[in-house]
Structure 1
């Protein structure tokens, strides 16, 4: 084949696949009908999914995201705190997981004994096998309504109390009662048995037992569910010729948005994992939120993401997000931007 014909063929292929990739990477207006998972919810659930949450300096975004999925599943707001407690207990009791977390723990971490962060898929799978869970009402993360100083204070204080008990094993309940009474976390469960829980266990196992006391005889029932995960197209490794790689990426992109849109059409949230610094002026660490709505505006399909940094819009990269919904602690992001930042989607398969 003459060189000029060969060149024409290559250029034609490049133009064709570039056009096709763009067409498939975007969600059409017809596919982007308005939908919000709250549309068919009762008032309690609507309020739960409309209220800003603030994780503050505690790295439990995964617990908030998982609580959203389970809350939508059982139609009752569940406790992110209890999810974190159950996961931390699993890590504490698995030597290999514990070693991994301890090796990666930062000396600048807000908390030194409680584990922060999680592999969302593993945590979701672990929670899927539990029978009971506390409600958000019985075990809230932030009982002070976005004044999270008390939550962080409680955990830091609990670490200090535990250290004191370990160093002075002869101390009894009355010796530390005054300090325990300062903790909002323990306000409604003050009991001499607390000293046995704190003395007899490491802090993460103690935390799990405290969680059970918080909602004793009031736990919500969980049915085992099937968690699933799909990696974002941009994170996958493609092989073959350029046109083969482009074609594979088109297919994965189409399937990626098909799953997202199918879940939203069924009024089911999903967990979006992405690098935090891609969206906010924060550290480059994995972050998880929930996608809860879809709407066409500004000539693109936009997705609503429920965040965990309170009712603030100051830290968002305005060139990445489309809009900030301060009153609900959420932001809107286009299909294009979502595709660029996404690492994975986790969801519950019914």
Structure 2
């Protein structure tokens, strides 16, 4: 198994080494910073709420952008992306962390559930945050399994009664239908299978597309395996592919009117003297455009975060006045993105 993993890593690296991704360059100057904005194709900025599903929100944006013709102006559900990823990645249904490109790929297997379904389901649920809702579904399944083990009849036990006495979407299912989902699922798979059953009338089937730029971070342990190889080939491991090269990759895709997801450290948003700066962690967002800032003489990315319309989190003095509280978008100089970027992901255009 370890031998196969090593061969896979080597093959993957050779593919990267032969691509244009590793051609180092500087960030864009005025002549090359042509204005681009694809935000109109994605809908309103998302709000991930109190759960760490930033990767799922930007993966849902990738799906929305890629399949916009099939979605007819609707957004893909970020919650369904997350619980689908957690099922196929064999993690807990309420797990926070995840990976962008695998999440987008997994979500194509069963179809895309619209964000409007998720929003309505959350609004009518007795649990008003995504984390509480997922935790409640886990509790419902665990209680059902325990009652089954004790050979108790399927009845209105407390966890179920919470839903039955509300306007929850679960009430669209009869006791028999709900029991069928509970019987044919595990704690890990129940949330996705339940949502799949409820969203079935609205589910949008799409043609499977693997033409998505894979994340290097998808390979476990790759950063421990590659440093000497990269050093011997005189390739700057900063990190692995080089941050400047990743920024250039974003610019290249924007030149093709493409939407790009990327991962990075959130400290670029915070005042360097603040506690949030010290405790910052990994995050994922999207880049929908760019424009030249003539006053500051810099090319700025239009960053699409998943924190709603609030601008209060952006305390870095370098970003003062760059967030639009009407939309939630923030303009960030490309050299600031370059400081902590770790990866990019995007669907390749059909002509590529």
User: What TM-score does the superposition give when structure 1 sets the normalisation length?
Assistant: 0.72
Check whether the contact 1:62–1:118 (CA below 8 A) recurs between aligned residues.
yes
1:179 to partner: Cα distance: 1.1
1:288 pairs, out of 284, 290, 295, with: 284
Aligned residues of 2:215 and 2:344 also touching (Cα < 8 A): yes
CA apart distance, 1:164: 2.4
How far apart, in 2, do the equivalents of 1:30 and 1:91 lie?
44
**Counterpart secondary structure, 2:57:** helix
Native 8 Å contact 2:290 2:301 kept in 1:
yes
Match for residue 310 of structure 1 among 278, 288, 308: 308
Question: Which residue does 2:118 correspond to in 1?
Answer: 139
Cα 1:214–1:114 change in 2 (3 A) is same
Distance 1:288 1:307, change over 3 A: same
Q: How many residues align?
A: 294
- 1:340 offset after TM fit, Å? 0.8
* Separation of aligned partners in 2, 1:90 and 1:223: 19
TM-aligned CA distance change 1:261 to 1:37, over 3 Å: same
Distance 1:278 1:191 in 2: 49
How many Å separate the matches in 2 of 1:309 and 1:141? 19
Q: What is the CA-CA distance between 1:182 and the residue it aligns to? A: 5.8
2-side partners of 1:117 and 1:313: how far apart?
24
- Counterpart position of 2:62: 69
How much does 1:196 deviate? 3.2
Q: Which string of whole-angstrom CA distances, capped at 9 and with x for unpartnered residues, describes residues 219-240 of structure 1?
A: 21212221114669xx995536
Higher relative contact order (CA closer than 8 Å, sequence separation 6+): 1
Per the TM alignment, residue 264 of structure 1 is displaced from its structure 2 partner at its CA by: 1.8
What is the aligned counterpart of 1:178 among 161, 174, 184? 161
Partner of 2:328: 329
The within-5 A match list for 1:1-350 is: 24-38=25-39, 41=41, 45=42, 48=43, 51-75=44-68, 76=71, 77-92=75-90, 98=91, 114-128=94-108, 130=109, 132-140=111-119, 143-144=122-123, 149-169=128-148, 170-176=152-158, 177-181=160-164, 186=169, 189-192=172-175, 193-225=177-209, 226-229=211-214, 239=231, 255-280=245-270, 281=276, 283-297=279-293, 298-321=296-319, 323-350=322-349
Which is strand-richer, 1 or 2?
Answer: 1
What is the alpha-carbon distance in structure 1 between the residues aligned to residue 164 and residue 333 of structure 2? 47
Structure 2's unaligned 5+ residue stretches are: 1-23, 218-222, 271-275
Which secondary structure state, in structure 2, belongs to the residue aligned with residue 333 of structure 1?
A: strand
- Please tell me whether Structure 1 or Structure 2 has the larger radius of gyration of its CA atoms: 1
Q: Provide the TM-score with structure 2 as the length reference.
A: 0.72
Q: Counterpart of 2:117 in 1: which secondary structure?
A: coil
Seen in structure 2, the aligned counterparts of structure 1 residues 227 and 31 have a Cα distance that, compared at 3 Å, is same
Displacement of 1:254 in angstroms is 6.4
Q: Give SS of 2:195's match.
A: helix
Q: Output one character per residue of 1:42-93: Cα deviation in whole Å (capped at 9) or x when no partner.
A: xxx5xx1xx232212212111111111111111132111211121111123x
- For 1:159, what is the secondary structure of its paired residue? helix
Q: Do the aligned partners of 2:267 and 2:281 also contact (CA within 8 Å) in 1?
A: yes
Question: What root-mean-square deviation, in Å, do the aligned CA atoms of Structure 1 and Structure 2 show?
Answer: 3.4
**Runs of at least 5 residues in structure 1 that lack an aligned partner in the other structure:** 1-22, 93-97, 102-112
